[in-house]
């Protein structure tokens, strides 16, 4: 039996899980109240004392933490323990404002790596595997997180980091990598490069990929599975709550099991903060019940998704989260309509186009404009100008049917849209320049 398939936790009854969570939560709230002045003030403002939290059913009494709080408290305001007890930091890229720095004690790293190990085992990983980690290493959590998980499982671990795609493929072939971990957009790029090198999935030994850190669609999953000859598993996480491994996909590939023994999820209405029942769509909120360095309680992720307690064919009882549609702040409001880039991706891949696209939003004469630039595949590129313009109209219609608003579609030559080795940047919102 694999050490990192832990049925006593992963297949626990709801009652046992709640008991475990409650014990950890009660202790965590007390610790945070005693050690973290910033959060103590928030609790005092709300009139909540640690004694009021007796079980996970009382979670709703606690105040939320938002990204704004994290920025406010930067750099040390939410530190949960003496800095001397911390052994590592990681940080978000800070593209949407001041970066967030998270602190890890030795124990935090140990538990985080356990979570990543569970994810690798759920994707079929064993000590027989050769695991190529092509997430970035550094302040980003992807590389170090999966690296630690892979070593715990006992896989031979290749700390490649991202980039240098041909070298990735050479290593993959020479060392017979069986598992690859990277962002889905980078996996698509590796698949494209493999083809360009005149190779097919039969020329490599990969069997599984563990992809996350950005939203990706089912259509993208099929594309990657085909181009690399693998099963593609989703993995979710965020720096604020440790990193990858907060949730992971199993053989059922129908959503990700949340490591509930460490992270207690809630779904809330993003406008009112009201807690929604399991099964309703809303903003995901996490409470870290055993983190020491950066113990966030009721952290609002801004990720929009749905939870499910439906029985899973893999036997795990850990609650599942659906693929997040994207962050509430990734959502574009165009002519009053809510648009997620992932909806456009679904249409493109369904219509046989490449996953290489850019979305440009602007405002002209007070009207929002939506331009979608999509690369033609090399075989589509030989088309006549007339043929291309007919295709653009067809694709614009398909997107209109999905979104309810009409875009201008521009089919562009192969290789003209920048490839991503990490998280793909798919949207340029020029309206911000006018505001
Ligand atoms: O992206 C951690 C990670 C690394 C997850 C490697 C998975 C694999 P951040 O850079 O802090 O951390 O970004 C976190 O990325 O709030 C989501 O919006 C998004 N995200 C992460 N995983 C997924 C996923 C890492 N599987 C933010 N599907 C999160 C959709 C995801 N979005």
Out of 261, 295, 329, a domain closes at: 329
Please give the pLDDT value at position 94.
66
Number of domains, the chain: 2
Percent residues over pLDDT 90 in the chain? 90
Q: What is the pLDDT of residue 378?
A: 82
Going by alpha carbons, the residue nearest to atom 15 of ligand 1 is 213
Q: Is 318 or 331 the better-scoring residue by pLDDT?
A: 318
151-209: pLDDT as tens digits: 999 999 999 999 999 999 999 999 999 999 999 999 999 999 999 999 999 999 999 99
Q: Is residue 2 assigned to a domain?
A: no
Q: Is residue 124 part of a domain?
A: yes
Q: Which domain, by its residues, includes 155? A: 7-329
Flag whether 1 is in a domain: no
Nearest alpha-carbon partner for 107 in 277, 264, 295: 295
| 434: in domain | no
pTM of the predicted protein model: 0.95
Q: Where does the pLDDT of residue 330 fall: very low under 50, low under 70, confident under 90, or very high at 90 and above?
A: confident
pLDDT of 328 > 90? The answer is no
pLDDT in tens, 370-426: 999 999 988 777 668 888 999 999 999 999 999 999 999 999 999 999 999 999 999
Cα 357 from Cα 373, distance rounded (Å): 5
435: in domain:
no
**The domain spanning residue 163 has which CATH number?**
3.40.50.12780
Asked whether residue 294 falls in the same domain as residue 353, the answer is no
Whichever domain contains 345, its CATH number is 3.30.300.30
321 and 346 together in one domain: no
Alpha carbon 251 to its chain centroid, in Å, reads 18
In a domain, 245, yes or no: yes
Q: Are residues 50 and 68 in the same domain?
A: yes
Residue 95 banded pLDDT, cuts 50, 70, 90: low
Are 65 and 199 found together in one domain? yes
| Closest to 228 (Cα-Cα) out of 266, 255, 197 | 197
- Atom 27 in ligand 1: which residue has the minimum CA distance? 238
Last residue of a domain, one of 309, 329, 349: 329
pLDDT tens, position by position, 120-145: 999 999 999 999 999 999 999 999 99
Identify the pLDDT of residue 326.
Answer: 77
How many Å apart are CA 360 and CA 372, to the nearest integer? Answer: 6
Atom of ligand 1 minimally distant from the CA of 210: 8
128 lies in the same domain as 84: yes
| Residue 329, pLDDT score | 76
Q: Are residues 223 and 79 in the same domain?
A: yes
Strands 332-334 and 337-339: antiparallel
Question: Is the same domain home to 63 and 117?
Answer: yes
239 and 215 in one domain? yes
How far apart (Å, rounded) are the C-alpha atoms in residues 289 and 119? Answer: 20
Q: Which of the listed residues 135, 237, 284, 322 should we mutate to test ligand 1's pocket, taking the one with most ligand atoms within 8 A of CB?
A: 237
The rounded distance, in Å, linking the Cα atoms of 179 and 299 is 32
Are residues 325 and 356 located together in one domain of the fold? Answer: no
Residue at 284 is within a domain: yes
pLDDT at 93 over 90: no
Residue 395 lies in a domain: yes
Asked whether residue 16 carries a pLDDT value surpassing 90, the answer given is yes
Residues 350 and 325 both lie in one domain: no
Ligand 1 atom at minimal distance to the Cα of residue 327: 18
Same domain? For 238 and 312 the reply is: yes
Handedness of CA 342, 137, 297, 329 (dihedral sign): negative
Ligand 1 atom at minimum distance from 146 CA: 6
Q: Ligand 1: which residues within 6 Å by Cβ? A: 92, 135, 141-142, 212-215, 234-239, 243-244, 301, 303, 323-324, 327
Give yes or no: residues 370 and 318 share one domain.
no
Q: According to the model, what pLDDT value does residue 434 have?
A: 65
Given 302, 329, 356, the domain boundary residue is: 329
The pLDDT score that the predictor gives to residue 327 is 81
């Amino acid at each position: 039996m694999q050490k990192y398939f832990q049925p006593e936790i992963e297949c626990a009854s709801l009652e046992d899980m709640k008991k475990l969570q409650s014990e950890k939560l009660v202790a965590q709230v007390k610790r945070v109240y005693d050690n973290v002045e910033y959060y103590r003030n928030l609790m005092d403002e709300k009139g909540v004392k640690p004694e009021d939290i007796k079980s996970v059913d009382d979670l709703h009494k606690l105040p939320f933490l938002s990204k704004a709080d994290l920025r406010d408290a930067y750099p040390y305001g939410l530190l949960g323990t003496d800095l001397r007890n911390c052994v590592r930091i990681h940080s978000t890229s800070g593209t949407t404002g001041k970066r967030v720095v998270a602190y890890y004690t030795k124990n935090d790293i140990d538990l985080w790596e356990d979570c990543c190990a569970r994810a690798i085992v759920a994707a079929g990983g064993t000590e027989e595997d050769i695991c190529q980690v092509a997430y970035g290493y550094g302040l980003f959590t992807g590389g170090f997180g999966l690296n630690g998980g892979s070593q715990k499982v006992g896989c031979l671990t290749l700390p490649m980091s991202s980039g240098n795609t041909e070298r990735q493929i050479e290593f993959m072939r020479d060392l017979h990598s069986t598992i690859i971990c990277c962002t889905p957009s980078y996996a698509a790029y590796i698949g494209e490069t493999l083809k360009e090198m005149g190779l097919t999935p039969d020329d490599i030994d990969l069997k599984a990929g563990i992809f996350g850190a950005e939203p990706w669609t089912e259509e993208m999953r099929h594309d990657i599975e085909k181009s690399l000859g693998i099963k593609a598993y989703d993995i979710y996480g965020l720096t604020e709550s440790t990193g990858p491994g907060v949730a992971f996909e199993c053989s059922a590939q129908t959503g990700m099991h949340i490591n509930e023994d460490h992270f207690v999820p809630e779904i809330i209405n993003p406008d009112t903060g009201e807690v929604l029942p399991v099964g309703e769509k809303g903003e995901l909120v996490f409470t870290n019940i055993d983190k020491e360095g950066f113990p966030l309680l009721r952290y609002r992720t801004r990720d929009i998704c749905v939870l499910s307690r439906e029985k899973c064919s893999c036997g795990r009882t850990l609650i599942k989260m659906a693929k997040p549609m994207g962050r509430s702040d990734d959502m574009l409001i165009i002519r009053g309509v809510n648009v997620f880039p992932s909806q456009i991706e679904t249409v493109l891949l369904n219509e046989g186009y490449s996953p290489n696209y850019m979305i440009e939003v602007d405002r002209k004469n007070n009207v929002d404009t939506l331009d979608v630039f999509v690369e033609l595949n090399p075989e589509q590129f030989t088309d006549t100008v007339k043929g291309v313009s007919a295709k653009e109209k067809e694709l614009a219609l398909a997107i209109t049917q999905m979104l309810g608003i009409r875009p201008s579609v521009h089919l562009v030559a192969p290789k003209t849209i920048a490839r991503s080795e990490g998280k793909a940047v798919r949207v340029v919102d020029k309206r911000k320049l006018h505001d």
